[in-house]
Amino acid sequence: MKKVRRLKIENGTRVYVAGCGGMLGDAMYARLKGAGATIKATDINCIESWLEYGDVRDLASIRKSIVDFNPELIINLAALTDLEFCEKEQENSWLTNGLGAENLGLIANELDVPYVYISTAGIFGGERDLYHDFHAPNPLSVYAQSKYYGEQYVRNSVRKHYVLRAGWMMGGGPGKDKKFINKIYKQICSGAKELFVVDDKLGTPTYTVDFANGLCGIVESEQYGLYNQVCNGAASRFVVAQEFVRLMGLADKIKVTVVPSDYFKEQYFAPRPASEKLVNLKLNQRGLNLMRDWHVCLEEYAEVFKADYARR
């Protein structure tokens, strides 16, 4: 019997990463580069010298980009993740998060290479307090619905697939983080002395550095399938904000005040689950969980913002 070489992310391994210009893309590129992989990183916004243009919505164009590179692994990070933008630009949301998942899946099957698709805790409806890998999703928003469609397509139609569900993403620093931590930081930098934060939304912080590292470990295991992959532990938005302010050394200068979600109903009008807390049940059982506790990750991540704040 012919022995098949197990995929190792190491010197010379050819990895194609779509949508690599965002906060997770930074960590993914650094992790792959550190391993010596040969990377083709693409995005529709080429804001880094190492990025080439690639649009996952355009099958012919993205197929040529991928096939010409002849990768051993395809990672799809391309997504529209702003919930309000997705509600207003629904067609673009479906084309990026849904059709984009299909397009890269078709190409992965054609090349017979593994395909990684990033899903989200946001696909759950909030009926439970905590969700493991086997609980049934109930997506509420257009963003969640389009991501869940992508997840289902990949699971049902791509032979060699990994679907990884992330939680409240944090990473990329002041320049690229589009999520909660940087929104808090921008308020701090604007001189705010009081932050109004909800405590009726629960989730699981997910550090991009750990996520990229864990992704590589899962791929190297060749244990295909669906996995929750979030930091260990969970919290409310209020608790995360409090901890970030403390880590910034500003707890005695900035007050964090609890407000209900209705306080932001005009600004954040897309439906959100009350809880999107995940647990890495399958990763734990298979010994593949490389994610650290969210407190540890936030402490490490806060150093990036402290350095930036000191320069202001």
Instruction: Give the residue-averaged pLDDT of 2-12.
Output: 78
**Six-digit token pair at 194?**
């009081």
Instruction: Give the separation between CA 40 and CA 17, rounded to whole angstroms.
Output: 6
- The CATH number of domain 14-172+206-232+276-293, selected from 3.40.250.10, 3.40.50.720, 3.40.50.300, 3.40.50.970: 3.40.50.720
**pLDDT higher than threshold 70 for residue 250:** yes
pLDDT of 5 = 67
End-to-end Cα distance, the chain: 63
Average of per-residue pLDDT values in the chain:
95
Domain boundaries, the chain: 14-172+206-232+276-293
The pLDDT tens digits for 98-141 are: 999 999 999 999 999 999 999 999 999 999 999 999 999 999 99
Strand-by-strand arrangement of the 51-53 sheet: 51-53, 38-43, 14-18, 73-76, 115-120, 161-166, 225-228
The pLDDT tens digits for 260-308 are: 888 888 888 898 999 999 999 999 999 999 999 999 999 999 999 999 9
Query: Please, what's the b/e burial string for 87-106 (b: 16 or more CB within 10 A of its CB; e: otherwise)?
Result: eeeeeebbbbbbbbbbbbbb
Say which residues have a Cβ less than 8 Å from residue 296's Cβ, sequence separation at least 6. none
Contact 24, 171 (CB under 8 A): yes
What are the two backbone dihedrals, phi and then psi, of residue 144, each rounded to the nearest 5 degrees? Answer: -65, -40
What pTM was computed for the model?
A: 0.94
| Angle ∠(18,21,22) on CA atoms, nearest 5 | 105
